[in-house]
Amino acid sequence: MSGQHSTEVSSKFSRFTIIKGSYKKVGCHELRVDVMIPRTSLEGKGKRPVIARFHGGYLVLGDSLFPDWFPNWILDLAYKHAAIIVSPNYRLIPEATGLEVLDDIEDFWQWLHSPAVTDLLSNQSQWSQPLELDLERIITAGESAGGLLSIQTALSHADQIRVCTASYPVVDIEDPFFSTAFEKNILGTPQVPESVITDHIAKLVPGSVVSSAVPPERIQLMFGFVQQGRLLEFIQRGAISEEDIKKLIPMRRIEDDDAKLPVGGLFINHGIQDTAVPVAGSKKFIAKIQAVMKGKQGADNVTLTLQDGEHGYDAQTTLDEGWVQDGLTSVVSAWLE
């Protein structure tokens, strides 16, 4: 079971030329990466700034190019500044473990800084001069579980990233919302029975890899993991030490003596009425950064923007929206200075 799906490119991305590549191979399964190049005049502009963007889906489903979950304001931001978006798929749970997901993101990061990217871009014939990534000007972004991965990447590579952004991130993974079974009205979805999870697990083929799943595929499985309080369990599966567990939990990682953020800090936006990822998690994370990281790189430049809205409220939000402009002013300054 490969789990690799061909994704029809949506008209939402019509302003971009999309190059599909592979950054890693797991057995016979290639993990796809999408390089999104804005169709602006890039000639003579030198290296282009980078947005490393991670998709959401509770780590259970999703795809880099699933348009419904790709915020318009990120596309607008890239287009306005002629920046290149680089967005990977990664192995999904429960076929993978949380540690394997982090391994994929780390391998993606190494790929992003390797000659393979230069080769991928230089093989394109539509530009008279090869495009180049400005790896000195990277921001990270992601939504939901992708926001978690954006923050994880920023904690792992703070000195290689200008600023981290995250939309409604699944950052407080140890909260009972993700680890305890109780009635949860998530995006209006009725409670999914435990049997959906057990049936899926029973059918797993050892060594199977899934790295792309577009809704409605696996949607019941995704909600079931959270409603039945088993998301944390499957993220931590295979973690055999306290160090492993800490690696999976940003709330713990920021306690390390050597923890730091990108020099431009952290910008989080979250919907107040979010039923999929409680806003309390983002509030708790920001408060803890301010308490335990005071004086460390980036920790004095953390922002939480709260807006009325449900999970994914910003999917259709453009860069012209007031809260986006206000929130991104310092982000753009730190990114492009």
Ordered by start, the domain boundaries in the chain are 11-336
Q: Which CATH class is domain 11-336?
A: alpha beta
Would you state the pLDDT for residue 2?
Answer: 32
Task: For residue 100, give the 3-state DSSP assignment.
Answer: helix
Average pLDDT in the chain: 94
* Mean pLDDT to the nearest integer, 265-274: 98
| pLDDT tens sequence across 284-296 | 999 999 999 999 9
| pLDDT tens sequence across 176-200 | 999 999 999 999 999 999 999 999 9
Give 307's strand partners.
271
Question: What are the structure tokens assigned to 319, written together?
Answer: 């860069």
Rg (CA), the chain: 19
Other CB atoms within 10 Å distance of the CB of residue 129: 11
Would you state the pLDDT for residue 1?
Answer: 28
Give the residue carrying structure tokens 């191979």: 25
What is the amino acid identity at position 159? D
What separation, in Å, do the N-terminal and C-terminal C-alpha atoms of the chain show? 46
Other CB atoms within 10 Å distance of the CB of residue 245: 16
Q: Does 43 score more than 70 pLDDT?
A: no
Quick check: pTM over 0.75?
yes
Q: Helix 98-112 crosses helix 145-156 at what angle (to 10 degrees)?
A: 60
Query: What is the helix, strand, coil percentage profile of the chain, to 5?
Result: 35, 20, 45
Alpha helices in 254-300 (DSSP H): 279-292
* 102 CB-near residues (< 8 Å, 6+ apart): 152, 247, 248
Q: Does 5 score more than 50 pLDDT?
A: no
Would you state the pLDDT for residue 19?
Answer: 94
Q: 230: burial class by Cβ within 10 Å (0-12, 13-18, 19+)?
A: buried
22: annotated active-site residue: no
Give 38's strand partners.
16
Would you state the pLDDT for residue 130?
Answer: 74
In the sheet with 163-167, reading across from the earlier edge strand, the strands are: 16-26, 29-38, 84-88, 48-54, 133-142, 163-167, 266-271, 302-307
Selected catalytic residue, list 64, 87, 144, 167: 144
| pLDDT tens sequence across 25-40 | 999 999 999 999 998 8
**Virtual CA dihedral for 50, 147, 244, 197, nearest 10 degrees?**
-130
Would you state the pLDDT for residue 154?
Answer: 98
Task: For residue 305, give the 3-state DSSP assignment.
Answer: strand
- How far from the centroid of its chain's Cα atoms is residue 147's Cα? 4
Give the residue carrying structure tokens 């502009």: 45
Q: 156: burial class by Cβ within 10 Å (0-12, 13-18, 19+)?
A: middle
